[in-house]
Amino acid sequence: MKEGEIVGIIGPNGAGKSTLIKAMMDLIPHQGNAAMDGQPLAKQAQKIAYVQQKSNIDLTFPITVRECVALGLQAHANMFGYTGKNEGKAIAQALEMVDMTDFAKRQIGRLSGGQLQRVLIARCLVQEADLIILDEPFAGIDNRSESAIMIVLRKLRAEGKTILMVHHDLKTVRSYFDSVVMMNVNMIGAGPVATTFTDTNLEQAYGLPMHVNQGGQS
């Protein structure tokens, strides 16, 4: 991956997309290694933010939107556990960027899928990570929320952040990503969308003849 890109990981169900990012984060046993700036990702917690699938989040846990976002500050807590005087400002700015300021006191269990996803991204923002990894961020949310999230991600890219996400909708690959990783258990291709998201690679990944047009896939 290059710095300042939005990169998609695509492939059929069961291809190992989520497993790949968990291995990169050292969350499961694995062989090989993933590095950033020459150092293993697992040793760079302050530089990396990870948003897991919403289905893995306990929405019954009594925590507000503001409290959820504040969890991202733990990566910068000092040895005494304090996050500094700018905590409130950082949280407010993050919520404003994802348009969730008015929901700061709401319990996360009362949010829609799209609202929750924006809160989880706000948590990444306060962490000030260089690499943001998202596991299926658009699963189960409406088109409006998806568009709003992409606006935020593009702003982060403009700031030099690198975004890596697991994605399913082939129709939006060309418009969402700079580069793409295509896989089906094994790696099929990785590189710029223009040269990697091809009919040949799609057929290898999905096992069916597919045609890619400028709008995506048909």
Residue 80's pLDDT is 41
Q: Would 116 be classed as within a structural domain?
A: yes
Residue 77's pLDDT is 59
Q: C-alpha distances in angstroms, 104 versus 42, 96, 109? A: 31, 10, 13
Q: Which parts of the chain are beta strand (E)?
A: 6-10, 35-36, 39-40, 48-51, 131-135, 162-166, 179-184, 186-192, 212-213, 216-217
Residue 216's pLDDT is 53
Residue 122's domain comprises 6-217
Residue 164's pLDDT is 96
In angstroms, rounded to a whole number, what is the distance separating the alpha carbons of residues 25 and 134? 12
Nearest to 133 by CA among 56, 32, 52: 52
* pLDDT < 70 regions, the chain: 30-31, 33, 35-37, 41-43, 45, 55, 75-85, 214-218
CATH number at residue 201: 3.40.50.300
pLDDT tens column, 26-61: 777 766 767 666 777 666 767 889 898 876 788 889
Residue 79's pLDDT is 41
Q: Would 45 be classed as within a structural domain?
A: yes
Tell me, rounded to whole angstroms, the distance of Cα 122 from its chain centroid.
Answer: 12
pTM: 0.85
**C-alpha count within 13 angstroms, C-beta hemisphere, residue 56:** 10
Q: Would 180 be classed as within a structural domain?
A: yes
9: β partners: 166, 181
Q: Would 1 be classed as within a structural domain?
A: no
Domain count along the chain: 1
Residue 218's pLDDT is 45
Vertex 51, ends 91 and 207: CA angle to 5°?
150
Residue 39's pLDDT is 73
